[in-house]
Amino acid sequence: MNTKSLAESYLKKALDRLDILDLLFKKGAFSDVIRESQEIVELSLKGMLRFVGVEPPKIHDVGSLLLEHNNKFPKDISKQLNKLADVSKRLRKERELAFYGDIDFIPTEEYTKEDAKEAIRDTRLIVETARKLL
């Protein structure tokens, strides 16, 4: 397996998971939409990095790496990297809270339909951008 085929594998995994978001949304599982969105975004962005020859670290938010290596991306993709990095950072911050919550933060009560819609919209943008690149 080479770097490009691993990048393609990440994108396939991200694409396969997209449908889960709609199911979770229909069930009103908004916190789970947030969590799954973060994982899809992470896979997509790591696939993009691998595709341009950057080995992503084993962390959940690689947005800063996108910006650091923006010169390795085609111009139409590099224009979107700030937005992609912002989404990655935001969803990374929500990752654990959306899944585990906290004593004063019940995920199933805190996340709204609007939060979930925003996560789905941003996730689709990132997956589509990754698809264009790959």
pLDDT at 59: 96
pLDDT value of position 133: 97
- Please give the pLDDT value at position 27: 98
pLDDT of residue 88: 98
Q: What's the confidence (pLDDT) of residue 3?
A: 86
8 Å CB contact between 78 and 70: yes
The domain made up of 3-133 has a fold known as Four Helix Bundle (Hemerythrin (Met), subunit A) (1.20.120)
The tens-digit pLDDT sequence of the chain (134 residues) is 688 999 999 999 999 999 999 999 999 999 999 999 999 999 999 999 999 999 999 999 999 999 999 999 999 999 999 999 999 999 999 999 999 999 999 999 999 999 999 999 999 999 999 999 99
Work out the end-to-end distance of the chain between its first and last CA atoms, rounded to an integer number of angstroms.
Answer: 16
pLDDT at position 17: 96
Whole-angstrom distance, CA of residue 28 vs CA of residue 11: 26
Give the integer Cα–Cα distance in Å for 72 and 118.
Answer: 28
Residue 61 contacts residue 89 (beta carbons within 8 Å)? yes
Residue 41 has a pLDDT of: 98
Question: What are the structural domain ranges in the chain?
Answer: 3-133
35 vs 70, 78, 84, 91, 106, CA distance in Å?
Answer: 26, 26, 17, 8, 14
Query: Cβ contacts of residue 123 below 8 Å, gap of 6+?
Result: 18, 21, 37, 40, 41, 87
Q: Model pTM greater than 0.85? A: yes
The count of residues in the chain is 134
